């Protein structure tokens, strides 16, 4: 991987010498060396976009090689865009970057096509609670399983779905079996494209219990499909969403109570559904894009 990153930076140097452009924009650590190289051969300003840091991916068990590449990119950048204030604070505190150089531009969602909004998957008789994402340490899947076990003690008429793949999948299958809830738990594997929206449409509640989530677009996608969402307070999207329920990722009792309430009280479900839909429709890429263009103008000293 490191060899490919280096090869890519060599290509970027060649392209930068031959193309006309104003700004270099690099995303995440894989492209920082390429951005630095392009800046060195052209003198054009470099903007880097931090979607996640190794602190998020590793739960603090940071890979020094990755950290050094990330920090090198940040030091060479003329400006840094982060996807949340959570990530901005990590960049400032863990990488020692000047706060004046770091701006948060929250992510958004693309309006859905009629085809996706109107998918019509088969519905289960029971209520369905869904986790959709990589089954990895960062995403907190074990907290979802533990919360499920608590909900099922009080209401056996609920099914839980952990959709996705990842290095903790086998561990989660075992944990569900150990908690005696395997008959209520489904692991459909990695979902893509239309499958994601069919999965959401068939759900009554969406849960994202991430331990460290720089932003997290999936709850916004769930809200677009009219699915009430529960998210961890440790996620970047918690900074901009109000019509969701927020719990600490480790507070499985609060998470279980929130799930139980939404599947038990139709009025609560309907309120979260309606308010969530209205809210998410205001979170557009046009607004995020305008902020990015403003940053381009700033590094070019045009404003």
Neighbours of 113 (CB within 10 A): 9
Q: Quote the percentage of the chain above a pLDDT of 70.
A: 100
Q: Yes or no: say if 250 and 143 are a contact pair by the CB < 8 Å rule.
A: yes
pLDDT at 303 exceeding the cut of 90: no
Neighbours of 102 (CB within 10 A): 23
pLDDT of residue 61: 87
φ, ψ of residue 154 to 5 degrees: the values are -100, -25
CA-based torsion, 123, 125, 128, 133: positive or negative: negative
Is residue 192 exposed (0-12), middle (13-18) or buried (19+ Cβ within 10 Å)?
exposed
The 10s digit of each residue's pLDDT in 145-178 is 999 999 999 999 999 999 999 999 999 999 999 9
pLDDT at 33 exceeding the cut of 90: yes
- For residue 258, give the DSSP letter: H
pLDDT at 58 exceeding the cut of 90: no
pLDDT at 60 exceeding the cut of 80: no
Q: What is the mean pLDDT of residues 230-241?
A: 96
Is residue 232 exposed (0-12), middle (13-18) or buried (19+ Cβ within 10 Å)?
buried
- Stated as kind and residue range, the H or E segment containing 245 is strand 245-247
pLDDT of residue 59: 76
In sequence order, the 6+-apart residues with CB closer than 8 A to the CB of 89 are none
Instruction: Catalogue all structural domains in the chain, each as residue range(s) with its CATH number.
Output: 2-108+285-299 (3.40.50.2000), 114-280 (3.40.50.2000)
Average pLDDT over the chain, rounded to an integer: 96
The 10s digit of each residue's pLDDT in 123-132 is 889 999 999 9
pLDDT of residue 158: 97
């Amino acid at each position: 991987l490191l060899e490919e990153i280096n090869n890519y930076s060599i290509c970027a140097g060649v392209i930068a010498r031959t193309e006309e452009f104003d700004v270099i924009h690099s995303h995440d650590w894989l492209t920082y060396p390429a951005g630095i190289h392009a800046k060195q051969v052209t003198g054009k300003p470099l903007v880097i976009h931090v979607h996640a840091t190794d602190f998020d991916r590793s739960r603090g068990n940071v890979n020094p090689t990755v950290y050094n590449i990330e920090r090198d990119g940040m030091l060479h950048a003329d400006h840094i865009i982060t996807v949340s204030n959570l990530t901005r604070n990590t960049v400032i505190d863990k990488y020692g970057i000047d706060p004046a150089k770091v701006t948060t531009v929250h992510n958004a969602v693309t309006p859905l096509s009629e085809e996706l909004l109107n998918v019509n998957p088969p519905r289960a008789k029971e209520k369905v609670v869904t986790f959709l994402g990589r089954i990895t340490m960062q995403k907190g899947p074990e907290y979802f399983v533990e919360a499920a076990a608590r909900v099922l003690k009080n209401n056996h008429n609920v099914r839980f779905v952990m959709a996705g793949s990842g290095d903790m999948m086998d561990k989660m299958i075992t944990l569900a079996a150990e908690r005696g809830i395997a008959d209520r738990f489904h692991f459909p594997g990695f979902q893509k494209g239309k499958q994601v929206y069919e999965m959401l449409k068939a759900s009554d509640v969406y849960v994202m219990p991430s331990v460290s989530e720089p932003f997290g677009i999936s709850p916004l996608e769930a809200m677009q499909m009219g699915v009430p969402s529960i998210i961890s307070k440790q996620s970047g999207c918690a900074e901009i969403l109000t019509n969701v329920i927020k719990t600490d990722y480790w507070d499985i009792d609060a998470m279980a109570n929130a799930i139980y309430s939404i599947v038990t009280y139709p009025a609560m479900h309907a309120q979260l559904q309606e308010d969530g839909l209205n809210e998410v429709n205001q979170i557009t890429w046009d607004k995020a894009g305008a902020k990015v263009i403003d940053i381009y103008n700033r590094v070019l000293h045009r404003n």
